[in-house]
Structure formats: structure tokens, C-alpha cells
Amino acid sequence: MDSNTFSTISNIIKTRRTIKPPTMNGQKIPNGHVAAILELADWAPTHAFTEPWRFVIYEDPTVFCAQHAELYKQGAAPENFKEATYNNLAAIGNNASHVIIAYMKRGTNPNIPAVEELAAASAAVQNLLLAATALNIGTFWSTGGATLKPAMKEFLGLADEDQVLGLLYLGYTDQHPEGRRLTPIEDKVKWVK
């Protein structure tokens, strides 16, 4: 790897940002770009080649958002239901181009712990986020609403050991927020000689 390659990947990693869907501008991403992003997601590390990542792509986010709001409504106890949450879930994707549901499909190899499958699927999501950044596409990884509730697993037809990782909203944006870290890397690393 040369210094130009390192500089490029470093720039992509450091400029990746969470872009909330309401700040996306509504411009459609070509499906070919989304397919290229998913192709790079597929290159995540995976123990024993289980490749446990799965993606469901909605080309029209409003369709999924309406379904998500209904899942929230059906799953909320009457005393916990909040109309504002329902309305937010129904409208959050109005400016997004695509919504991708990411989940881990548990393999059948008993020698592979579930945590490794979850880590591999999460690495695939990170690949997706970085690939989108390289194409100047904003992303938002959400676990709110009914995303991590049993109703979502049922909606997707997942098995008990499968796990939803989140909703990935993709869209172009006119905003480019600055990045920051709250803690220096030196506080997170221990070197051993």
C-alpha cells in the first residue's frame, strides 16, 4: 500500500459523518451507486466465510417509514404510545433516497459464536458507510423506534437467533459537519512491549 492509498482511506474514514435524514436534500441516488456500495459491504471479514450480513433495500423510504411507524404503534402499550414518535417515524425518511435494513443472519456452524457473526455483520455495515462516504452520500445508522423490537424481526421474517443491526438511511446532503472525538486515541490504547 502506498501513501496515496493510505491518505485516501484515511480521508474517507475521517470524513464519514452521521447525517440525519431530515437534513438530506431529497435527491435520488442512482440504484447502481447503492449496488456498488453493497458490493463493498460484502467484503467484510467473516470467520469460516459465513457472510452473515443481510440487507433489505427500500427505494422509496416513505413506504418503509409508514410500515415502521405502524410497527411502533402496534408494539407500544397504550400508556407508552407517543403520537410525536409515531409521526417522526412516519416522516423521518421523507428527504432520504433509500433506506436499508441491515441484519445478521445467524449461520448453522456451531463452532462460530454468535458474537463473531454480529461483529462480521457490523463490519459490513461500516464498509457500507465508508463506501457511501466515498461517493459523497450521507448516511444515518438508526436503532430507534421499533428497529430492535421483536416486531421488526417478525416483520422481516427473521429467526430467533438473527439480529437486526439497524436502519441505514442514505441520501445526498448539502451539509458537511466537522468531525470530532471526545477522547484522544492515547486514552483508548495500551501498548505492550
Beta strands across the sheet bearing 138-142: 53-58, 98-104, 163-171, 138-142
Q: How far is CA 129 from CA 12, 17, 67, 74, in A?
A: 10, 9, 24, 31
pLDDT of residue 101: 99
- This prediction's pTM: 0.95
pLDDT of residue 1: 65
pLDDT (tens digit, 9 = 90+) per residue, 54-81?
999 999 999 999 999 999 999 999 999 9
The boundaries of the domain holding residue 99 are: 20-176
CATH assignment at residue 171:
3.40.109.10
Percent of the chain with pLDDT over 90: 95
Q: Which of 27, 45, 40, 25 is nearest to 131 (CA)?
A: 40
The number of domains in the chain is 1
Place of cell 431529497: 26
Let me know if residue 189 belongs to a domain: no
Let me know if residue 64 belongs to a domain: yes
Which whole number is the average pLDDT over 43-57?
98
Let me know if residue 7 belongs to a domain: no
Lowest mean pLDDT among 15-19, 29-33, 144-148, 152-156: 144-148
Q: Is the pLDDT of residue 30 over 90?
A: yes
Let me know if residue 191 belongs to a domain: no
Strand ranges, E, within 75-191? 98-104, 138-142, 163-171
Residues 6 or more apart whose CB falls under 8 angstroms from that of 165 comprise: 102, 103, 104, 118, 121, 122, 125
Percent of the chain with pLDDT over 70: 99
What confidence category does residue 3 fall into, taking pLDDT thresholds of 50, 70 and 90?
A: confident
Which whole number is the average pLDDT over 15-20?
97
Which whole number is the average pLDDT over 124-152?
97
- CB-facing half-sphere around the CA of 71: CA atoms within 13 A: 20
pLDDT of residue 176: 87
Let me know if residue 136 belongs to a domain: yes
Which whole number is the average pLDDT over 167-188?
95
Let me know if residue 50 belongs to a domain: yes
Q: Is the pLDDT of residue 18 over 70?
A: yes
pLDDT of residue 2: 83
Q: Is the pLDDT of residue 84 over 80?
A: yes
